[in-house]
Amino acid sequence: MKASREIALLRALLAAQCQSAGEKEVIYQAAGAATGLTVTFDVYKPDQTKDTFQSGTAVPIGATGRYYIAFSADGPGWFVLIEDSNGGKAVKYF
């Protein structure tokens, strides 16, 4: 199965499972689509305190170099800090 088709099917599946209005999703692409990395993320509340319960390790999406993150947020102002084991970093604000 082509990677783009696999990703489309995964997104459809994840969307069906995440019907809650507060559910947030992030797809992180590692530099060079590197696979086999450890991708960690920290979820922060609007008051900038870390939500340790929802922070953790992203789930790899097959061998695509993309990694899936999901968490719940009850309003605007939440953000997630993402780091991978190759030194890549990203921030996503909701």
* Number of structural domains the chain divides into: 1
- Is the separation of the CB atoms in 67 and 59 below 8 Å? yes
Picking from 25, 82, 72, the residue whose alpha carbon sits closest to that of residue 45 is 72
| Alpha carbon distance 68, 24 (integer Å) | 11
- What are the pLDDT digits (tens) for 5-34? 666 666 666 665 555 558 889 999 988 888
The string of pLDDT tens digits covering residues 73-93 is: 888 899 999 999 999 999 999
Which pLDDT score is estimated for 3?
A: 61
Query: What is the predicted pLDDT for the residue at 6?
Result: 67
Which pLDDT score, from 0 to 100, does residue 8 have?
66
The domain that contains 78 carries what CATH number? 2.60.40.10
| Domain span including residue 48 | 3-93
Would you state the pLDDT for residue 14? 60
* Backbone dihedral angles phi then psi of residue 74, each to the nearest 5 degrees: -95, 20
CA distances to 2, 3, 9, 13, 56 from 82, in Å: 27, 23, 24, 23, 10
| pTM for the predicted model, two decimal places | 0.75
> Coil, strand, or helix at residue 60?
strand
